[in-house]
Amino acid sequence: MSRRVVITGIGAVTPLGIGKDIYWKNLLAGKSGVILVDRLDLSEIATRIAAEVRDFSPEQWLEKREARRMDRFAQFAVAASKMALEDAALEITPELAPRVGTHIGSGVGGLNTLEKEAEIGFAKGIGKISPFFIPMMIANMGTGSVARIIGARGPSQTTVTACATSTNSIGDAFWLIREGKADVMVAGGAEAAITPMAMAGFSNMRAMSRRNDDPQRASRPFDRDRDGFILGEGAGVIVLEARDNAMARGAQIYAEVVGYGMSNDAYDMVAPSPSGDGAAAAMRAALEDAGAVPEQVEHINPHATSTPAGDVAETNAVKTVFGKHAKKIAISGTKSMTGHLLGAAGAVELIAAALAIRDSIVPPTINLDNPDDACDLDYVPHVARKLHVEYAMSNSFGFGGHNASVVLRAHHE
């Protein structure tokens, strides 16, 4: 059994706004969500900027008591999932519930809860640790909370593959529907890791930009002057649905998911393979799964974190897979605006790729003022571009060598 799978709903909680429409509007406008973090004391570390979600009220999506018992990342997951289901105009009835699954990943889970409870334990003794500490902290509670709240009783899983997490989550969900194991999957990722320990850890390993005096220009994928990524937070969730079911109920369709591939660099704990061979393997596998050839891809939303090594490795990988066609692909480094949402990054970027297909326009890579000589492809600098997109690819690569790619196609009868 091999069924076609489509995207019928989108939910987004991002540093550029809450909801897919404001996220997409600001992405196309080239706005940056990076700010100087003033709610935390980061005076002892070199990086004091991040891409925060602002004006998020969990009580808009959850009862107060429920919200208090849920880490910020899980609150994001629930909010994005409810948005996606509302957007899909999908009611999960008792009859449908066993065929509706949830697959929402997180790279680090409840880090806010972990740090808060550690402080309580050190200050007041471990006897004062909250009884909700474990269920608030563990990474599967994004998926678990969403499934419980929306009543989805089908396949349920949480992937943790660092920054490849939500691309793996969406890809795995796609495969489940294609193979007939579910009819609907609520899939994506959620992350809320702008905490003192996470900021210090990434900063001290010199992975993040130190451009504190110019936050909105700090994330600059493929630029010669890039000096590291910007930590972001948020959630991206999509409703994936068997095409026949979606058509039967007259659902809107953003795009069709047609291919998924993954691999491992087997190279280093955190550094990418310089040749990009692992990333290339994932992209090739996704194209093969889609039954597509490289020349059919018009647009890529890359991983493109704005790190010196990562952007070059991904450029090398794209050249390896696409050959001469690589220079004809419009590549939009949207982390230049959102920062890096870690386990949620792939989902919010795949959402951008789906909307690019729907609207025939691709977002820009901002801050690309002085392109790196080693990064010589078409990165859509500064300004969004009108472009008919039939096939798009979204890439995510994570610590541990994890690589994941998903291929989307414009939906046709």
Amino acid at 299: H
Does 402 qualify as catalytic in the annotation?
no
Between CA 174 and CA 179, with CA 175 as vertex, the angle to 5 degrees is: 120
Distance CA 359, CA 349 (A): 15
Q: Residue 345: CB partners within 8 Å, gap ≥ 6? A: 163, 166, 189, 191, 232, 303, 335, 338, 396
Residue 12 has φ and ψ, to the nearest 5°, of -145, 130
Asked if residues 246 and 357 have their Cβ atoms less than 8 Å apart, the reply is no
Does 303 qualify as catalytic in the annotation?
yes
Asked if residues 387 and 357 have their Cβ atoms less than 8 Å apart, the reply is no
Does 340 qualify as catalytic in the annotation?
yes
- Helix, strand, coil percent values for the chain (each to nearest 5): 40, 20, 40
**Choice among 299, 303, 402, 411 that is catalytic:** 303
Residue 390 is classified by DSSP as S
**Choice among 103, 299, 340, 402 that is catalytic:** 340
Distance CA 201, CA 134 (A): 22
Residues involved in catalysis: 163, 303, 340
